[in-house]
Amino acid sequence: MSPEKTSILDVSKLVKRFGGFHALDGLSFHVVPGEILGLVGPNGSGKTTAINVISGLYAPDGGEVVFDGASAGGVASHKLVHRGINRTFQVPKPFLSLTVRENIQVALAYGGATGAPSIAELLEEYRLKEVADRPAADLNSAQQKMLDLTRALATRPRLLLLDELAAGLNPAELDWIAGRIKALAATGMAIIVVEHLMGFIEQITDRVIVLNAGKEIFEGTLATAVREPQVIEVFLGGEHAH
């Protein structure tokens, strides 16, 4: 099964520079529908930058992003949303003065999706029913993360990028959200997860890509990755390798 035929996202030789700093330095990978791919790596390795480029927040300085057979690099975010890409943010960014319900309504009205889940379903499934008519500013950070996720899901993405969704959740919430993410993937949604919690990554991903300095240094399962000297080196420093 060649990735070119079935993948929904193909990233090749992606470059993103900030001044002289190469945040992404020739990154290539692909994702297929229904797959949960983990992006791991130390701080500054380019994980969030990759998500920002794929979701249209940054235009790439080189390389290509192909989503569903068409070029997606440098395309405006709202157009990518309409084509089926969405994301959450490391620090959730809800519309603070709008109610939870209104937050989701905006995405339902402007997401351009047919057959999107209803507000009632989203509120119920992501435990926001009780706070539905409160301003988003009143929510705690875990609830704001869920609201951020429902905002993304309301546009019915086929590729969902989750940027540290699990950080700050308690163990019970982690298990629960892991179940939700797997259920989404089971519907055929491709999901890219950026996360520091390795246990969580192991629980949900099919495959991980380890990044260092904007490049891929490993691709495979997390269980294999942790035995890889190069991976151990970038995470723990040179003296622990070998």
Partner 1 sequence: MHNASKHLLFILAPLVVVFALLPGVYQNHLLLFNFVIFLILAQGVNIIYGFTGYLPFGYVGFFGAGAYGFAIMVMHLHTPAPFAVLVGGGVAILLGLLLTPLLRLSGAYFAIANLAASLAVLHFVANPALEGITKGPYGVSLTGTFNPTHAYYAAVVVMALTVGAVVYLKNSPFGLALQAVREDAVSASMAGVNIIKMRVIAWLASALVAGLAGGIYAWYVSVFYPDNVFSGEFSIFAIVFALFGGVATITGPIVGVLILYGIYNLIGFTTPQYFQLIYGLLIMGLVLFLPAGLVSLATRRGWHVP
Instruction: Please give the residue ranges that form the binding site for partner 1 (CB under 8 A).
Output: 55-57, 76-78, 81-82, 86-87, 89, 93-98, 102-103, 105-107, 109-112, 148, 151-152, 154-155
Region of residue 59 (phi > 0: left; psi between -120 and 50: alpha; otherwise: beta): beta
Which residue's CB is nearer to partner 1, number 27 or number 149? 149
Which residue's CB is nearer to partner 1, number 7 or number 150? 150
Q: Measured from the CB of residue 96, what is the shortest distance to partner 1 in angstroms?
A: 6
Which residue's CB is nearer to partner 1, number 82 or number 127? 82
Which residue's CB is nearer to partner 1, number 62 or number 117? 117
Q: Measured from the CB of residue 142, what is the shortest distance to partner 1 in angstroms?
A: 18
Q: Measured from the CB of residue 56, what is the shortest distance to partner 1 in angstroms?
A: 8
What is the dihedral angle through the alpha carbons of 90, 37, 83, 178, rounded to the nearest 10 degrees? Answer: -60
Q: Measured from the CB of residue 237, what is the shortest distance to partner 1 in angstroms?
A: 35
Q: Measured from the CB of residue 78, what is the shortest distance to partner 1 in angstroms?
A: 5
Q: Is 21 exposed, middle or buried (0-12, 13-18, 19+ CB in 10 A)?
A: exposed
Q: Measured from the CB of residue 57, what is the shortest distance to partner 1 in angstroms?
A: 7
| Kind plus residue range of the DSSP H or E element containing 15 | strand 9-18
CA gap 242, 192 in Å, rounded: 30
Question: Hey, which residues does 37 pair with through a beta bridge?
Answer: 192, 207
Asked whether 117 and 153 are in contact (CB, 8 A), the reply is yes
Q: Name the residue among 63, 72, 50 with its Cα closest to residue 14.
A: 63
Which residue's CB is nearer to partner 1, number 163 or number 195? 163
Transcribe 144-210 into DSSP letters. Answer: HHHHHHHHHHTT--SEEEEESSSTT--HHHHHHHHHHHHHHHHTT-EEEEE-S-HHHHHHH-SEEEE
Q: How much is the CA Rg of the chain, to the nearest whole Å?
A: 18
Which residue's CB is nearer to partner 1, number 153 or number 211? 153
